[in-house]
Amino acid sequence: MMLIHHDEPAMAAADQKQLWQDYAAFNEALSKATGASSGERLEPAKSATTVRTAGEKTDVLDGPYADTKEQFAGYFVIDVPTLEEAVAWAKRCPSSRFGSIEIRPLHVPQAGSWK
């Protein structure tokens, strides 16, 4: 799983037409090479609502859970055998130029491990 974190002001300052053309080209190349993959893009972090329950008390707050420069912006899932290939795709992804892409393997439950 590729977790995309954007520096939203930097992203907003980029040439939008070019950016989304690049993204379309990236998606074409990705699906051609690795097959269909799932992914979602999120609305900017200011639209976020954060819910946290501690004991009996639940807080519902406006805004993202952490006030950091780079905010979670979306994800895509790719199926590749090695970390090197995942890094190669992350490097091609236009989002890597406007923030960071965190690569994490999907958890594969061991049979019977949570009985």
Partner 1 sequence: MTRNEAVRTAERVARESYGRLVAFLAARTRDVAGAEDALSEAFASALRMWPTDGVPDNPDAWLLTVARRRQTDALRRRQTRSTGEEHLQLMAEEIEDAARSAAEIPDRRLALMFACAHPTIERGMRAPLILQTILGLTAIDIAAAFLIPPATMGQRLVRAKMRIKDAGIPFTVPEKEELPERLDAVLDAIYAAYTKGWNEVGDAAPELADEAIWLGRLLVSLMPSEPEAKGMLALMLYAEARRRARRDIDGAYVPLDRQDTAVWDPEMLRSAEQLLRQASAGGPSGRYQLEAAIQSAHTARRMTGADTWPAILALYTHLERLTHSPVVTLNRAVALAETDGPEAAVALLDTLAPDKRMEDYQPYWAARGHLLARLGRKDEAYAALTLAIGLSTDGAVRHYLQGRIGQLADG
The dihedrals phi and psi of 69, each to the nearest 5 degrees, come to: -65, -40
Q: Which of 10, 13, 25, 61 binds partner 1 (CB under 8 A)?
A: 25
Residues 81-100 that bind partner 1 (CB under 8 A): 83-84, 87-88, 91-92, 97
Q: How far is the CB of 55 from partner 1 (least distance, A)?
A: 38
**In the 3-class helix/strand/coil scheme, how is 12-29 assigned residue by residue?**
HHCCHHHHHHHHHHHHHH
Q: Which of 14, 27, 42, 75 binds partner 1 (CB under 8 A)?
A: 27
- 13 lies in the binding site for partner 1 (CB under 8 A): no
**Cβ–Cβ under 8 Å, residues 99 and 10:** yes
- 50 lies in the binding site for partner 1 (CB under 8 A): no
**Cβ–Cβ under 8 Å, residues 93 and 2:** yes
